[in-house]
Chains A and B, each alone.
Chain A
Amino acid sequence: AQSVAQPEDQVNVAEGNPLTVKCTYSVSGNPYLFWYVQYPNRGLQFLLKYITGDNLVKGSYGFEAEFNKSQTSFHLKKPSALVSDSALYFCAVRLMDTGRRALTFGSGTRLQVQP
């Protein structure tokens, strides 16, 4: 079975400060990892993914994430937060090297950026 944990329901950060949204995962094999963002009344938008290669992955809107295999983590980061980054963020995982394509999502972290 695969699972994702997002330990923080909400993260508050001041505009201009760096932000981190935490994600840890559990899979019985090698993972594909994803971050999605959800704005009110809109669908999930893809931010970035880790497949193979460099552990630091860069994505949309200045976000990046670091894959850490030993800690089974895939934390989302941004050097300087914007008020417009305020949204709900979801981490997701699926197994590599299988025919299964179902994504398993975490419960989400609400990011609130204060001006």
Chain B
Amino acid sequence: DTGVSQNPRHKITKRGQNVTFRCDPISEHNRLYWYRQTLGQGPEFLTYFQNEAQLEKSRLLSDRFSAERPKGSFSTLEIQRTEQGDSAMYLCASSGGLAGGMDNEQFFGPGTRLTVL
């Protein structure tokens, strides 16, 4: 039983560069979420997919951020023209696809830690 996986685990980049992260959810889950966590804070919601449809987006998701889930399986989160304020842990979670619709809890991956220099 594999959980949610994220790659890379760590990314160091220079300000102004573009970065892309990947998330592979639990295989039977149809819902996928992205959160951002900064030091000393709880995770903050960024966006949510049901299958390939992006159904919710936070105001935190500026124009420089884009997320995709083209085939309803893995997802990518891209940040263009990175800024130092983008430095954070980016968490992916998945849920759903269980009998009876009891998919309320989200299962989180280990995260990708982004450092923007």
Given A43-B4, A43-B109, A45-B108, A103 and B91 contact (CB-CB distance below 8 Å): no
A43 near B111 with CB under 8 A, answer yes
Q: CA A7 – CA B1 in complex, angstroms? A: 36
How many of chain B's residues touch chain A, expressed as a range? 20 to 34
A107 near B42 with CB under 8 A, answer yes
Q: CA A90 – CA B91 in complex, angstroms? A: 14
**Residues from chain B with Cβ under 8 Å of A51 in the complex:** 104
B104 near A104 with CB under 8 A, answer no
B41 near A107 with CB under 8 A, answer yes
From 64 to 115 in chain A, residues with beta carbon under 8 angstroms from any chain B beta carbon are 90, 92, 99-108
B110 at the interface (CB under 8 A from A): yes
**Residues from chain A with Cβ under 8 Å of B107 in the complex:** 46
Q: CA A105 – CA B38 in complex, angstroms? A: 12
How many of chain A's residues touch chain B, expressed as a range? 20 to 34
From 20 to 75 in chain A, residues with beta carbon under 8 angstroms from any chain B beta carbon are 32, 34, 36, 41-46, 49, 51
Q: Give min CB distance, A55 to chain B, whole Å.
A: 17
B55 at the interface (CB under 8 A from A): yes
Given contacts A45-B108, A90-B42, A107-B40, 9 further A-B contacts (CB under 8 A): A43-B3, A43-B110, A44-B108, A46-B107, A49-B105, A100-B56, A101-B56, A103-B35, A103-B43
